[in-house]
Amino acid sequence: MTDTCIVLAGGLGTRLREVVQELPKVMAPINGRPFLEYQIEFLYQQGIRNVMLATGYKHEVINHHFSPENIQNLKPLFREINIQFSHETEPLGTGGAVLKALENIHQPVFLLNGDSFFDIKLETLVRKKEETNARIVLALRRVDDVSRYGAVEINPEGQIIRFVEKGDNKGPGLINGGVYLFDAEWFKGRAPSNVFSLEKEILADVKENDYLAAVVFDNYFIDIGVPEHYKLAQYEFKNRQ
């Protein structure tokens, strides 16, 4: 299993501004700790030892918090992780941010959305990739209402056949849980430019012979991107600990 993960940490957090100001979204405090700490801790517990933070907005806040000097103030586990930074000086889109972070990565790599927490076993994605030879494996989550997220449709073999835009579907279904495993070199060869959307120009455009697979989970999931869910995370994370 690969021990490397990219975390998309460049989000503006526009919808959170009323409750979290002057911070990148991944640094929004949950019970006194940045959300990003919980994500890195989750990765560490599953054997990830190399974490690439793809930063953008307010990157200096993230850089300082995880700097060699300040990391001494965090839990000891953070000293065992090689945390690196890939900073975009201008908006590159989610795909462009991943592409930049991959400059010195050549093996299969995990990818994590910086504003959601999905408590799954990463090795499950590895097994799925080995079984199917898929280029990308996504972790999907069952929810009661897909309208806020957009939906994902799969066939009985677990192959993704269609992505549905936000608002086009309502009711129960599957959503993208924001955890991926993919081939780094394949991604570089597939990238259409330096500025592009991962969702619209890589995922939604995958051809039949590229095989995009998925694993469906019912595990704990939360997206802190809106104030009501951010406030809910304060309560839920305290109970989980």
Whether 13 has a pLDDT exceeding 70, the answer reads no
Q: How confident is the model at residue 149 (pLDDT cuts 50, 70, 90)?
A: confident
The reported pTM is 0.94
Task: Write down the residue that tokens 């000293």 correspond to.
Answer: 79
Could you state, in order of their start, the residue ranges of all structural domains in the chain?
4-240
Distance CA 183, CA 129 (A): 10
Kindly report, residue by residue over 154-193, the tens digit of the pLDDT.
Answer: 888 778 888 888 766 778 999 999 999 999 999 999 999 8
Kindly report, residue by residue over 201-239, the tens digit of the pLDDT.
Answer: 898 876 656 678 999 999 999 999 889 999 999 999 988
Percent of the chain with pLDDT over 90: 68
Superfamily name and number for 4-240: Spore Coat Polysaccharide Biosynthesis Protein SpsA; Chain A (3.90.550.10)
